[in-house]
Structure 1
Amino acid sequence: MQTRGPRAARLHKIAPERESIFGPRLRATSVGVLILVTLIAFEAMAVSAALPTAARAVHGLSEFGWAFTGFLVANVVGMVASGQLSDSRGPRLPLVAGLIGFLLGLALSGTATTMAQLVAGRLVQGLGSGLIITAIYVIAGQVYPELLRPALFAATSSAWVVPSLVGPGVSGLLAQHASWRWVFLGLVPFGLIGGALLVPVLRALHRPEVPGRLGSGRRLFWALAVALGIAALEQAGQHPSAAALALGGAGLVVLVVGLRPLLPSGTFRVRPGVSAPVALRGLLAGTFFGVESLIPLSLSVQHGWGATAAGLPLAVSGFSWATGSWWQGRVDDAAQPGRRVILVRAGFLLNAAAAVGMAITAIPASPGWLAYPSWLLAGLGAGLTMTSVSVLLLKYTNDANRGADSAALQLSDATASALTTGLAGVLVAAAARGAIDNTTAFVGLDLAMCAVGLLGALVASRARPA
């Protein structure tokens, strides 16, 4: 029977709200996006287990750190370049270029015969990864209706769970029993499949008519400054000394100066509008990854746990992270406009509570098993907050600045994580020198991260429209 009149108009209006990210129109796009995110997640989680073997095989252990630092520096530049290209020409070019770069980097690393080639491969991988991640955010804003974005981000968060659980183990097994080269080369076919699934939506993407906020040359210059600042902080945190302290101070100055033109105006003040989600993303990432960076070491030193048991809290938190992401995807932002801010605040409070739990766990007289429920809470809170601020960012941004704002979200995450993990490295080094004891180092970091989490909860109410 044909439906006519106002009722038909009402039915037509609400029909898109019943769509799914795996419905006929979006299925190929969603699967392609999830494959690419899973590949990036697997490479991020698995490569650390295979790189020592690879470095020894190509006689490059003395330059081992550059395999990580090079990826990090290129990744930051890729994020900013992708945002600029997406705003001026649409996300098609950065996504295609990023996929080609990522696959080329895998091939370079997997066929490396020298350390220089391995580092070059990691650089190209990092650049491609940064291009892809930001372009995916822009595609989410262009292609997916606002109602479906929470579900999409929940699915992409879940795509990190399996790589976080099995990635290091699979990588180690391949390096030990087959060849470390397959950790890189084995991902190439999956990248081609993911790219092929995105071809239809890439053809349909429109090119923005309004250019981005800054010229590409300026943005790339500041992105390089930020990348070098992060690298300096990482180096100072891993190898503390008087010279490293000076390097870290210089890196911090360069980092702050470089961030200001790359982040939305008002980010450091958590101004309502697009600035607040960017700031909140950094506060949450700093809290979560700062504490997480010392969990295995804390359990090993303070409680004598082996490597498997000490690393297990990090693995199981992936499930609670996915649960939190799934839960926020159930929120109807149109019917419950204030509910997402409540979720953001709840996520910060859960992470603050988890930091306190880890501080208690770091005391040798306390039971070590407290790490498991504590870090499950942290994963749940991260899933609620990380995904919610991504949804809010795309809600508050506009077509002209969607790429730059998406890149800013990633930059905030990477920068805050570098700062807090660098602080962790400084405290551990101080304990190793005997300047402070281990308990003071671990508890001090956890309580500092608790304070950052409470700050995030306090300013979460600013995550509202400008």
Structure 2
Amino acid sequence: MTGSNRPAVSSGWGNLLSGANLVRSLALSGGVALHAVNLYISTTILPSVVREIGGFDYYAWNTTLFVIASILGAALSSPLLARAGPRGSYVAAVLGFIAGTLVCAAANTMEIMLAGRFVQGFGGGILLALAYAMVRRVFAEPLWPRALALLSSMWGIATLLGPAVGGVFAELGFWRGAFLFLIPAASLVALASLFVLPPRVEKRTESKPLPIVQLALLTLAVFAASWGGMGANLSSTVVGMVTALGLVGLVIVTERKSRHRLLPAGKFELPTALGSLYMASALLAVTVTCTEIFLPLFLQELHGRSPMEAGYIAAVMSAGWTAAAIYGSGLKGDRRTSAVRAGPVLSLASMATLAAVMPWTGADGDWLPLALICTALVTGGAGVGLAYPHLSAMILHLAPQGEEDKAASSIMTVQLCATAFGAAIAGLAVNLAGASSTPDDMDAANAARWLFVTVAVAPITCLVVMNTVSFKGADHAS
């Protein structure tokens, strides 16, 4: 039985976090948390990894391959769900994540580590997408905003837990233990899913061929964007970015013509509510993820903060996201619409403030620059937290008939793709503005200024896209 067919129930947190719903919430949010915490743990311990097993030349590929595998996993989650059912697909994804984690923990060369990271990312990407797809299956519709806010908040929790866990094991000189730390947590998620997720889909549908062409083009596009974003030289940058744009265009053309689509119908039609909602949610998420990538570097280089301090100052943005998501999930009617429209405005104000304040180091002992930076980070995170869960709930509500699972799982596919391309563009802005391949020689102040100016394009574009959406028509049922 889908969420829309359930009897009327309370939409409060008490209903979501009690009884059987509590176990369901733990299973779904646990899957998101596994992926998110692993991302931050890996980032924290990676310097220790390369010191022990080598492979510094492939440092960035740990993240690149992980993100690409996550995109593939998220994109393939809908066919897996149709074949294996909710319970089977979720357990299979957790087992894949555990297998990749064990490979990473046992790696003695960077090649083995990269293989493990790919398997990790693939399993984690499936978990992310399935969590969103399961919301409409296991919860009544009035609980969708709360459930989506809970999933969203896992990223904020991960920014606090991930660096702490990774830092402890790195300090102990046992980075492999950070990966092993994830195994018991993943096992609990798998166990919970066995008890609370339905064994099969409501209506058995005919197995459809996988959209192999679109997946291959999308993977190549991310590779090309990542290569171009490195900014090694002008020719490689131009070739990489132009190739990526061309491949994205081919994905869109192929999707429109193919009978077996990767994404739901209407996804690339921006005048329609569904296409606009997907794009708006992706653009909002980009402002946080692209900021957090380089924020610790600028806090260390420009403001003299230690790596641990910089990591937790950067986590302030995700804390703002989490707090706003939890608060905003209970808004209804006009207040909900106002919160959604306020999201990109707050994000834009945050990027403008960071562009002005981050290059300003101030005098020794001057607390004002850091205070303004933290305020801007909370504001930017809150903007995303207020709008993102409601945009996701609207997507679930507007899902085309027969493509509900594909529409739900595509939320994370689109976000991961936007993050990958956004990170590539942000990296290009930093490399060109900083005019150096090493942190010691780069013009950090100029790089910081242009990074946040570049990222500000995302909330500006989001404001334009939101003007194409009639929120009364796109809004989910109260």
When normalised by structure 1's length, the TM-score is 0.87
Question: How far apart are the structure 2 equivalents of 1:291 and 1:64?
Answer: 20
Give 1:453 shift.
1.0
Which residue in the other structure is 1:455 paired with?
461
> Residue 40 of structure 2 contacts residue 162 of structure 2 at CA under 8 Å; is this kept in 1?
yes
Change (3 A) 1:96 1:156: same
Change (3 A) 1:451 1:67: closer
> Residue 231 of structure 2 contacts residue 432 of structure 2 at CA under 8 Å; is this kept in 1?
no
Q: Does 1:401 align with 2:390?
A: no
Which residue in the other structure is 2:350 paired with?
354
Matches within 5 A, 1:92-131: 92-131=87-126
Question: How far apart are the structure 1 equivalents of 2:274 and 2:465?
Answer: 14
Q: Return 304-313 or 133-142, whichever deviates more.
A: 304-313
> Residue 72 of structure 1 contacts residue 231 of structure 1 at CA under 8 Å; is this kept in 2?
no
Which residue in the other structure is 1:295 paired with?
295
> Residue 89 of structure 1 contacts residue 208 of structure 1 at CA under 8 Å; is this kept in 2?
no
Question: How far apart are the structure 2 equivalents of 1:286 and 1:41?
Answer: 15
Question: How far apart are the structure 2 equivalents of 1:169 and 1:120?
Answer: 25
> Residue 108 of structure 1 contacts residue 121 of structure 1 at CA under 8 Å; is this kept in 2?
yes
Gaps of 5+ in 2: 1-5, 256-261, 363-367
Question: How far apart are the structure 2 equivalents of 1:246 and 1:310?
Answer: 34
Matches within 5 A, 1:10-409: 14-15=8-9, 20-87=15-82, 90-210=85-205, 215-217=208-210, 219-241=211-233, 242-259=235-252, 261=255, 262-332=262-332, 336=333, 338-364=334-360, 367-369=368-370, 370-398=372-400, 400-409=402-411
Change (3 A) 1:327 1:182: same
Change (3 A) 1:323 1:284: same
Which residue in the other structure is 2:3 paired with?
none
> Residue 134 of structure 1 contacts residue 403 of structure 1 at CA under 8 Å; is this kept in 2?
no
RMSD: 2.8
Structure 2 residue corresponding to 1:422, chosen from 421, 424, 427: 424
Q: Return 131-140 or 280-289, whichever deviates more.
A: 280-289
> Residue 344 of structure 1 contacts residue 457 of structure 1 at CA under 8 Å; is this kept in 2?
no
Give 1:239 shift.
4.2
Question: How far apart are the structure 1 equivalents of 2:137 and 2:87?
Answer: 11
3-state SS of the aligned residue for 1:91?
helix
> Residue 229 of structure 2 contacts residue 428 of structure 2 at CA under 8 Å; is this kept in 1?
yes
Change (3 A) 1:216 1:178: farther
Give 1:170 shift.
2.0
Amino acid aligned to 1:324: A
Question: How far apart are the structure 1 equivalents of 2:91 and 2:249?
Answer: 31
Q: Does 1:446 align with 2:439?
A: no
3-state SS of the aligned residue for 2:89?
helix
3-state SS of the aligned residue for 1:276?
helix
Gaps of 5+ in 1: 1-11
> Residue 277 of structure 1 contacts residue 409 of structure 1 at CA under 8 Å; is this kept in 2?
no
Give 1:308 shift.
4.2
Amino acid aligned to 1:153: L
Amino acid aligned to 2:226: E
> Residue 72 of structure 1 contacts residue 227 of structure 1 at CA under 8 Å; is this kept in 2?
no
Give 1:175 shift.
2.5
Deviations along 1:318-352, one digit per CA (max 9) or x if unpaired, are: 221111111222124xxx2x543322211111001
Identity %, equivalent residues: 24
Amino acid aligned to 1:54: V
Question: How far apart are the structure 2 equivalents of 1:177 and 1:238?
Answer: 33
Q: Return 129-138 or 308-317, whichever deviates more.
A: 308-317
Change (3 A) 1:272 1:248: closer
3-state SS of the aligned residue for 1:278?
helix
Aligned pairs, number: 448
> Residue 61 of structure 2 contacts residue 114 of structure 2 at CA under 8 Å; is this kept in 1?
yes
Deviations along 1:196-217, one digit per CA (max 9) or x if unpaired, are: 11112334543434458xx433
> Residue 77 of structure 1 contacts residue 224 of structure 1 at CA under 8 Å; is this kept in 2?
no
Question: How far apart are the structure 1 equivalents of 2:275 and 2:126?
Answer: 22
Give 1:22 shift.
2.0
> Residue 70 of structure 2 contacts residue 416 of structure 2 at CA under 8 Å; is this kept in 1?
no
Give 1:46 shift.
1.0
Give 1:76 shift.
1.0
Question: How far apart are the structure 1 equivalents of 2:387 and 2:264?
Answer: 20
Question: How far apart are the structure 1 equivalents of 2:37 and 2:158?
Answer: 5
Deviations along 1:363-406, one digit per CA (max 9) or x if unpaired, are: 43775221110110011111112212111111111562123223
Change (3 A) 1:410 1:323: same
> Residue 9 of structure 2 contacts residue 140 of structure 2 at CA under 8 Å; is this kept in 1?
no
Which residue in the other structure is 1:8 paired with?
none
Deviations along 1:114-134, one digit per CA (max 9) or x if unpaired, are: 322221111111110111111
When normalised by structure 2's length, the TM-score is 0.85
Give 1:69 shift.
2.1
Deviations along 1:38-67, one digit per CA (max 9) or x if unpaired, are: 222210111112123223333333333332
Question: How far apart are the structure 1 equivalents of 2:351 and 2:434?
Answer: 22
Which residue in the other structure is 1:413 paired with?
415
